[in-house]
């Protein structure tokens, strides 16, 4: 069973290696294809010396194999590399350069022609057959042979066991000898300079495959000597396995990345293969530190990023495994391997950037740094949140590790992932202390099995302050350092230099402070405002060009704005907080007079969003119990009115400085809060000082409709003086909203004809006057006002709704005249009332026709035609059956007279138009 598992693992590992080799071989073949195209294009290339091979080996080919190439081959390759660019430049030289250049180009072309003619055209199928044959003969044979050798050694041992030919010691000695013979044979082949002059054959580098097979056999031999037969103890087995693995990693400098991968896998599984009665964490972590340092050094020399990332990941996995499964916690050992990981990253893997001074100029980040950042952040979380570690070390070790991550990222700027890891870990830790939620601990518990921090003590408070200071100092210093050369890197530092202190301060306030009002936390928040604002200005002066307001500056100033909002919440009660946040929107708008940073406008927008969120959470501003019942002069007036005025002033200021979308957003916010101010005061007055209970009545809805229509007119007027897309579309939105209110609420849901609501005792100034006549006048006036200022459909919609409101008011007023205060539909219809409706509708139709002709409004004329048609149908279909006697006769006589009069009127209009034409 054991040999079967080992064989499967070997096959999988070699399959991965083969896949990587195929990728690199494909790259070389494409390069040779490009070179072939250059030759076919007519550029002469010097023929290399007989038998010379100029094909470049991939990274897996040994570096020292170049020593085996003969001097003649080296000279030929160098000569070809030097002359090829000259030939290419000569072929591409313009003809206008002169006769000498033209003659030279012609000679080169003539010299190239025989080469092209002499090369036969090979069919594509034959080429593919040749490639398959070459691959099978030179590459696949070597790969499968290496696998066969490794498995052969294992099968030989298995056979001797089953046959009982030799004892365990002899079998292990034979396996070790086979492994050493393979390694020795690989070294012999490498030193003799054996090379295959076939395209792609370098991917099947025989010495590397033989060395890997030998290392695999030796590894299995040592494990069998310890784990199966017990010939050697844990210490010796651990040492031998580690030595084999480290040696495989070391010789990968000669034999390539595949062997390094095999050695790294062996090194990482060694601690799991060796069983000990009393595991020693120091032995484990010292061994891992040595393996990590060796792997990083080899990877740095050959620029193997995947290898070093795998080494960091393996070390991190072992650390987390120890923290979750160890019976006794050794904080010193955990800190040792964590700091050793950072040291290897800073002084081994990233050290070439220091010597060449390319670290600050290099864009982007070092992606292998993601692995140590992730696992060290998990380690810091465990040290801070796991009760066993937190009690043993008072969470101090976790804070030290987080600070070390920031320090290494500051020292090695390309290790930017360390900043993200440290910052995210700090945020999760301090979210986890907020009662009653344990956000951070829940997240960590999903992966590490730890529990939330039971209580937040004073040390947590002090560590939070210390970490906040570390992030502020490091973040702003690095942001200024990279503001000109690497704006994205500067923005990252600036962002975390702002986010972490704000999260820590908020968590400490919610945990230790008074949520309602606490000046002890408001003062630090005010200090953060000043520090962030000053830091943003400091960073801006280092930009190229200076004071450009780039991303790093935006994060700093945005943090200042958020800290200001936090300070207001900490220092003031509900009403004053809402009022002051609204007024605070003026400050960033005024700042645009001196600095044209785009972020300043968005800070003002952020204040508007904060106020909107507060009023959505508590529309009463100060709470329902504290809101006065006095109409108008209560907290609603300043709570909604002051933000409306402040947002309007901010929009006015932004229109004269930075302009852009923030200005439009502030205009919309100002208009919205102006409407909310009036609407909330109306509801407060009509509900006896209570605005969050009771259904909306028709009278209240009528006031809201009038407010919407009035807002539409005001926005149109403002837009005419100061054009703005927000005002333009906002005015039409107000009109459309008012029409929707009228159609749904006035005509259907709250219609007194359907609800039988009291219309009041006063004959004229009653509910019908407020709900139908006034909106009709307002809609008609707005339709006239916007005829040449808004689209035709918008003015036509308003005119039509005004006509319907006037029709509804007249009809319902007639019914009130006959029925009194309550006009419910179920109270029936009288004959005189029925006749009155016919006469009224005809009169309204004539009035609409007259108005349409006078105002030259087609909408009004169409409305009059529709209304008269309705009256005609009523007379013929309803009055004929319901009316009797003189009323029926008068109904038809009146209808006929009106229709003849309308016909005569239109005939005169047409005659006048014909004469005028």
Lowest mean pLDDT across 173-182, 288-297, 764-773, 877-886:
877-886
Cβ atoms of 689 and 629 within 8 Å: the answer is yes
Q: How far apart are CA 108 and CA 42, in angstroms?
A: 8
Of 32-46, 775-789, 869-883, the range with the highest mean pLDDT is 775-789
Question: What pLDDT, on the 0 to 100 scale, is given for residue 264?
Answer: 82
Per-residue CA distances from 644 to 611, 623, 640, 822 (Å): 10, 20, 6, 40
Give a three-class secondary structure readout of 876-906.
Answer: HHHHHHHCCCHHHHHHHHHHHHHHHHHHHHH
Question: What pLDDT, on the 0 to 100 scale, is given for residue 497?
Answer: 96
Cβ atoms of 405 and 419 within 8 Å: the answer is yes
Q: How far apart are CA 338 and CA 740, in angstroms?
A: 65
The answer to whether residue 696 sits within a structural domain is no
The answer to whether residue 234 sits within a structural domain is yes
Question: Quick one: how far is CA 854 from the chain centroid?
Answer: 59
pLDDT, one tens digit per residue, over 410-421 is: 999 999 999 999
Q: Which domain holds residue 15?
A: 1-112+131-277
Question: What pLDDT, on the 0 to 100 scale, is given for residue 643?
Answer: 96
Higher pLDDT, 481 or 329: 481
Of 253-257, 262-266, 338-342, 686-690, the range with the highest mean pLDDT is 338-342
Question: What pLDDT, on the 0 to 100 scale, is given for residue 765?
Answer: 82
The answer to whether residue 156 sits within a structural domain is yes
- Whether residue 297 is predicted with pLDDT greater than 90 in this model: the reply is no
Lowest mean pLDDT across 112-121, 238-247, 511-520, 908-917:
112-121
Do 340 and 196 belong to one domain? no
Q: How confident is the model at residue 588 (pLDDT cuts 50, 70, 90)?
A: very high
Higher pLDDT, 279 or 787: 787
Q: How far apart are CA 783 and CA 799, in angstroms?
A: 6
Do 257 and 347 belong to one domain? no
Question: What pLDDT, on the 0 to 100 scale, is given for residue 442?
Answer: 46
Q: How far apart are CA 364 and CA 350, in angstroms?
A: 14
Comparing C-alpha atoms, which of 648, 625, 769 is closest to residue 698?
A: 769
Q: How confident is the model at residue 105 (pLDDT cuts 50, 70, 90)?
A: very low
- Whether residue 590 is predicted with pLDDT greater than 90 in this model: the reply is yes
Cβ atoms of 800 and 859 within 8 Å: the answer is yes
Lowest mean pLDDT across 338-342, 742-746, 884-888:
884-888
Residue that terminates a domain, selected from 455, 481, 506: 455
For tokens 């370098």, what's the residue? 202
Higher pLDDT, 719 or 341: 341
Q: How confident is the model at residue 88 (pLDDT cuts 50, 70, 90)?
A: very low
Q: How confident is the model at residue 194 (pLDDT cuts 50, 70, 90)?
A: low
pLDDT, one tens digit per residue, over 693-731 is: 678 889 889 989 998 998 899 889 888 888 888 889 989
Question: What pLDDT, on the 0 to 100 scale, is given for residue 143?
Answer: 58
Helix/strand/coil for 548: coil
Question: What pLDDT, on the 0 to 100 scale, is given for residue 879?
Answer: 61
pLDDT, one tens digit per residue, over 240-272 is: 777 777 777 777 777 777 777 877 887 788 777
Lowest mean pLDDT across 229-233, 491-495, 782-786:
229-233
**Residues 906-913: what's their mean pLDDT?**
62
The answer to whether residue 383 sits within a structural domain is yes
Do 86 and 69 belong to one domain? yes
Q: How far apart are CA 603 and CA 756, in angstroms?
A: 51
Q: How confident is the model at residue 227 (pLDDT cuts 50, 70, 90)?
A: low
Percentage of the chain with pLDDT > 90?
A: 32
Stated as kind and residue range, the H or E segment containing 30 is: helix 2-40
Question: Quick one: how far is CA 799 from the chain centroid?
Answer: 47
Question: Quick one: how far is CA 167 from the chain centroid?
Answer: 64
Give a three-class secondary structure readout of 224-265.
Answer: HHHHHCCCCCHHHHHHHHHHHHHHHHHHHHHHCHHHHHHHHH
Percentage of the chain with pLDDT > 70?
A: 70
Question: What pLDDT, on the 0 to 100 scale, is given for residue 433?
Answer: 80
Residue that terminates a domain, selected from 435, 455, 475: 455
Do 54 and 85 belong to one domain? yes
Helix/strand/coil for 790: coil
Do 303 and 421 belong to one domain? yes
HSE-up of 626 (CA within 13 Å, CB side)?
A: 11
- Whether residue 646 is predicted with pLDDT greater than 80 in this model: the reply is yes
**Residues 174-187: what's their mean pLDDT?**
74
| Average model confidence (pLDDT) across the chain | 77
Q: How confident is the model at residue 280 (pLDDT cuts 50, 70, 90)?
A: confident
**Residues 629-635: what's their mean pLDDT?**
89
Cβ atoms of 705 and 679 within 8 Å: the answer is no
Higher pLDDT, 560 or 24: 560
The answer to whether residue 803 sits within a structural domain is no
Q: How far apart are CA 258 and CA 20, in angstroms?
A: 9
**Tokens coding 237:** 């087995």
Higher pLDDT, 737 or 660: 737
The answer to whether residue 342 sits within a structural domain is yes
Do 96 and 60 belong to one domain? yes
Q: How far apart are CA 672 and CA 658, in angstroms?
A: 22
- Whether residue 437 is predicted with pLDDT greater than 60 in this model: the reply is no
**Residues 355-366: what's their mean pLDDT?**
61
Per-residue CA distances from 118 to 40, 108, 114, 417 (Å): 11, 16, 6, 57
- Whether residue 543 is predicted with pLDDT greater than 70 in this model: the reply is yes
**Residues 803-810: what's their mean pLDDT?**
91
Q: How far apart are CA 371 and CA 354, in angstroms?
A: 21
Cβ atoms of 307 and 292 within 8 Å: the answer is no
Do 135 and 185 belong to one domain? yes
Contacts of 154 (CB under 8 A, 6+ apart): 3, 6, 7, 217, 220
The answer to whether residue 672 sits within a structural domain is no
Do 38 and 81 belong to one domain? yes
Question: What pLDDT, on the 0 to 100 scale, is given for residue 245?
Answer: 73
- Whether residue 468 is predicted with pLDDT greater than 90 in this model: the reply is yes
Question: Quick one: how far is CA 465 from the chain centroid?
Answer: 29
- Quote the Cα angle for 7-8-10, to 5°: 65
Per-residue CA distances from 353 to 358, 361, 364, 477 (Å): 5, 10, 13, 20
Structural domain total, the chain: 3
- Whether residue 374 is predicted with pLDDT greater than 90 in this model: the reply is yes
pLDDT, one tens digit per residue, over 33-86 is: 777 777 776 655 555 444 444 443 334 333 333 333 433 344 334 444 443 444
Question: What pLDDT, on the 0 to 100 scale, is given for residue 240?
Answer: 79
Do 338 and 363 belong to one domain? yes
Question: Quick one: how far is CA 579 from the chain centroid?
Answer: 33
**Residues 188-198: what's their mean pLDDT?**
60
Residue that terminates a domain, selected from 423, 455, 487: 455
Q: How confident is the model at residue 500 (pLDDT cuts 50, 70, 90)?
A: very high
Lowest mean pLDDT across 35-44, 190-199, 609-618, 766-775:
190-199
Q: How confident is the model at residue 166 (pLDDT cuts 50, 70, 90)?
A: low
**Residues 510-524: what's their mean pLDDT?**
90
- Whether residue 207 is predicted with pLDDT greater than 70 in this model: the reply is yes
Q: How confident is the model at residue 602 (pLDDT cuts 50, 70, 90)?
A: very high
Q: How many residues does the chain have?
A: 917
Do 349 and 397 belong to one domain? yes
The answer to whether residue 581 sits within a structural domain is no
Do 272 and 286 belong to one domain? no
The DSSP line for 47-108 is PPPTT---PPP-TTS-GGGGGGS-HHHHHHHHHHHHHHHHHHHHHH--GGG-HHHHHHHHHH
**Residues 358-385: what's their mean pLDDT?**
83
Helix/strand/coil for 695: coil
Do 325 and 355 belong to one domain? yes
């Amino acid at each position: 069973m054991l040999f079967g598992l080992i064989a499967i693992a070997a096959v999988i590992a070699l399959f991965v290696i083969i896949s990587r080799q195929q990728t690199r071989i494909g790259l070389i073949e494409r390069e040779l294809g490009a070179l072939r195209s250059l030759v076919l294009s007519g550029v002469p290339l010097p023929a290399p010396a007989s038998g010379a091979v100029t094909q470049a080996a991939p990274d897996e080919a040994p570096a020292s194999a170049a020593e085996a190439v003969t001097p003649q081959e080296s000279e030929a390759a160098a000569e070809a590399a030097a002359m090829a660019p000259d030939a290419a430049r000569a072929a591409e030289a313009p003809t206008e350069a002169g006769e000498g250049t033209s003659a030279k180009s012609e000679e080169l072309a003539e010299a190239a022609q025989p080469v092209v003619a002499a090369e036969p055209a090979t069919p594509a199928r034959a080429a593919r057959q040749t490639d398959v044959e070459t691959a099978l003969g030179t590459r696949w044979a070597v790969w499968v042979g290496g696998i066969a050798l490794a498995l052969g050694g294992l099968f030989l041992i298995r056979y001797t066991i089953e046959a009982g030919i030799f004892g365990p010691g002899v079998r292990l000695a034979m396996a070790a000898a086979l492994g050493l013979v393979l390694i020795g044979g690989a070294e012999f082949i490498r030193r003799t300079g054996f090379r295959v002059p076939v395209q792609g054959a370098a991917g099947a580098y025989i010495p590397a495959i033989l060395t890997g097979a030998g290392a695999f056999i030796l590894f299995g031999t040592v494990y069998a000597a310890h784990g199966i037969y017990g010939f050697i103890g844990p210490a010796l087995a651990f040492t031998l396995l580690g030595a084999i693995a480290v040696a495989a990693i070391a010789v990968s400098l000669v034999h390539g990345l595949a062997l390094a991968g095999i050695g790294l896998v062996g090194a990482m599984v060694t601690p799991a293969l060796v069983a000990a009665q009393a595991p020693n964490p120091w032995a484990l972590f010292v061994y891992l530190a040595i393996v990590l340092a060796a792997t990083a050094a080899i990877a740095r020399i050959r620029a193997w990023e995947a290898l070093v990332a795998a080494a960091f990941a393996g070390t991190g996995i072992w650390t987390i495994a120890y923290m979750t499964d160890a019976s006794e916690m050794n904080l010193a050992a955990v800190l040792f391997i964590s700091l050793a990981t950072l040291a290897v990253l800073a002084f081994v893997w990233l050290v070439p950037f220091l010597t060449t001074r390319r670290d600050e100029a290099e864009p982007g980040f070092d992606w292998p740094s993601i692995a140590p950042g992730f696992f060290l952040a998990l380690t810091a979380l465990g040290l801070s949140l796991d009760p066993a570690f937190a009690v043993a070390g008072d969470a101090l070790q976790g804070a030290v590790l987080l600070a070390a991550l920031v320090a290494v990222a500051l020292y090695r700027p390309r290790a930017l992932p360390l900043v993200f890891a440290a910052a995210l870990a700090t945020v999760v830790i301090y979210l986890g202390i907020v009662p009653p939620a344990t956000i951070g601990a829940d997240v960590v518990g999903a992966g590490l099995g730890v529990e939330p921090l039971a209580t937040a003590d004073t040390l947590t408070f002090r560590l939070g302050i210390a970490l906040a200071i570390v992030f502020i100092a490091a973040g702003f210093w690095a942001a200024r350092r990279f503001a000109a050369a690497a704006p994205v890197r500067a923005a990252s530092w600036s962002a975390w230099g702002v986010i972490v202190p704000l999260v820590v301060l908020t968590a400490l306030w919610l945990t230790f402070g008074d949520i309602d009002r606490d000046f002890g936390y408001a003062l630090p928040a005010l200090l953060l405002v000043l520090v962030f604002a000053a830091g943003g200005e400091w960073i801006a002066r280092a930009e190229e060009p200076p004071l450009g307001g780039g991303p790093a500056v935006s994060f700093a100033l945005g943090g200042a704005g958020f800290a200001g909002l936090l300070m207001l919440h900490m220092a003031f009660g509900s009403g004053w907080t809402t009022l002051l946040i609204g007024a605070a929107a003026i400050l960033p708008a005024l700042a645009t007079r001196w600095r044209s940073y785009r972020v300043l406008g968005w800070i003002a927008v952020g204040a508007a969003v904060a106020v909107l969120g507060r009023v959505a959470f508590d529309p009463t501003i100060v709470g329902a119990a504290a809101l006065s019942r006095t109409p108008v002069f209560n907290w609603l007036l300043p709570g909604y009115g002051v933000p409306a005025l402040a947002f309007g002033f901010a929009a006015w200021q932004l229109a004269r400085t930075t302009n852009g979308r923030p200005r439009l957003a502030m205009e919309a916010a100002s208009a919205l809060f102006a409407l909310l101010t009036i609407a909330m005061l109306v509801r407060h007055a009509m509900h006896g000082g209570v605005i969050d209970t009771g259904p909306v009545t028709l009278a209240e809805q009528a006031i809201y409709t009038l407010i919407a229509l009035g807002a539409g007119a005001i926005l149109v007027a403002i837009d005419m003086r100061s054009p703005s897309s927000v005002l333009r579309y906002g005015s039409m939105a107000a009109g459309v909203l008012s029409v929707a209110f009228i159609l749904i609420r006035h005509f259907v849901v709250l219609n007194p004809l359907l609800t039988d609501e009291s219309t009041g005792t006063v004959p004229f100034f009653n509910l019908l006057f407020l709900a139908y006549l006034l909106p009709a006048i307002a809609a008609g006036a707005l339709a006239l006002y916007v005829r040449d200022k808004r689209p035709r459909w918008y003015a036509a919609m308003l005119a039509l709704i005004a006509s319907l409101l006037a029709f509804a008011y007249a009809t319902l007023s007639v019914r009130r005249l006959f029925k009194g205060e309550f006009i419910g539909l179920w109270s029936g219809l009288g004959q005189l009332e029925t006749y009155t409706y016919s006469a009224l509708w005809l009169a309204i139709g004539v009035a609409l026709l007259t108005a349409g002709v006078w105002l030259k409004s087609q909408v009004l004329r169409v409305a009059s035609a529709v209304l008269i048609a309705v009256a005609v149908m009523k007379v013929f279909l309803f009055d004929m059956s319901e009316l009797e006697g003189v009323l029926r006769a008068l109904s038809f006589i009146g209808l006929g007279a009106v229709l003849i009069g309308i016909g005569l009127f239109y005939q005169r209009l047409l005659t006048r138009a014909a004469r005028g034409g």
